[in-house]
C-alpha cells in the first residue's frame, strides 16, 4: 500500500507501539521508523544514559529534532516514544504530516508488559520518583487527554493480540 502521509502510532509505554509497528509495516510493505531508535542513533547513546547524563529536558530536545527529521521523509509508519506528544511543536508536526493512531491499555497491563520487555532497562528510565504502577497511573491521567487530542483513532490493546490490533488499524485505513 502507498501511504499518502505518515501513519504515526502514539500511546503510553507498553501499549504495543513497537510490536504493532513491526507487523503493520510488513502488511503495508513499508519500513517502520521507531523514533526512540532514531534518538539513540543520533545521540550515540541509550535513552537511559541520555536521561542519566543530560536529563529529561535534553532528551525531549533530541526527540523533537528526531521527529522533525523523520517527518520530512517520504510517508511511512512512525512509532513515537510515549512522551513525544507532550510538546506542542511535536503535536503540530504530527498533525500536519500524518494520521495518528493512539494505542491504549490499562495501567496494570502496561506495568506487566514493561516488566517483561527487555528493552525497558535501556529505553525507559523512571519519569517520576513514584513506584512503577503509581507512575503509570499518574502519567496516564495526565497524558490521556493529550493522546486523545493528537490522534484520530484510539485502539484498546488490553487483552488483545498484536494481530487483532494490526487488523483494527488496517480496517481504518482508506
Ligand atoms: C517515554 C517513552 C519511551 C522513551 C522514553 C520516554 C515517555 O518510549 O521515549 O523512555 O516519556 O513515556 P516508549 O513509549 O516507546 O517506551
Pocket of ligand 1 (CB under 6 A): 13, 17, 36, 47, 81-83, 123-125, 127
Nearest CA to ligand 1 atom 15: 81
Per-residue pLDDT, 1 = 74
Q: What value does the mean pLDDT take over residues 141-151?
A: 98
CA of 167 to the centre of ligand 1 (A): 24
- What's 6-169's CATH class? alpha beta
pLDDT, tens digit, for every residue of 13-41? 999 999 999 999 999 999 999 999 999 99
Which ligand 1 atom sits closest to the C-alpha of 139? Answer: 12
Q: Are 93 and 10 in contact (CB under 8 A)?
A: no
Confidence tier at 123 by pLDDT (50, 70, 90): very high
pTM score: 0.97
Share of the chain above pLDDT 70, in %: 100
C-alpha cell at 29: 510493505
Q: How far is the CA of 83 from the centre of ligand 1 (A)?
A: 6
Tell me how far the alpha carbon of residue 80 lies from the centroid of ligand 1, in angstroms: 8
Instruction: Tell the residue nearest (CA) to atom 8 of ligand 1.
Output: 81
Q: Distance, CA 30 to ligand 1 centroid (Å)?
A: 23
Amino acid at each position: 500500500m502507498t501511504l499518502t502521509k505518515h501513519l504515526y502510532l502514539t500511546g503510553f509505554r507498553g501499549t504495543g507501539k513497537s510490536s504493532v509497528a513491526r507487523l503493520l509495516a510488513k502488511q503495508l510493505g513499508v519500513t517502520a521508523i521507531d523514533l526512540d531508535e532514531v534518538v539513540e542513533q543520533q545521540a550515540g547513546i541509550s535513552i537511559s544514559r541520555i536521561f542519566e547524563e543530560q536529563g529529561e529536558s535534553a532528551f525531549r530536545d533530541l526527540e523533537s529534532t528526531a521527529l522533525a527529521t523523520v517527518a520530512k521523509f517520504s510517508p511511512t509508519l512512525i512509532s513515537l516514544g510515549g512522551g513525544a506528544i507532550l510538546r506542542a511543536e511535536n503535536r503540530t508536526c504530527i498533525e500536519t504530516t500524518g494520521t495518528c493512531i493512539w494505542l491504549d491499555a490499562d495501567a496494570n497491563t502496561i506495568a506487566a508488559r514493561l516488566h517483561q520487555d527487555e528493552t525497558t532497562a535501556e529505553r525507559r528510565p523512571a519519569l517520576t520518583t513514584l513506584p512503577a504502577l503509581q507512575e503509570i497511573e499518574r502519567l496516564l491521567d495526565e497524558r490521556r487527554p493529550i493522546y486523545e487530542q493528537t490522534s484520530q483513532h484510539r485502539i484498546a490493546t488490553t487483552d488483545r493480540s498484536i494481530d487483532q490490533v494490526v487488523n483494527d488499524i488496517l480496517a481504518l485505513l482508506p
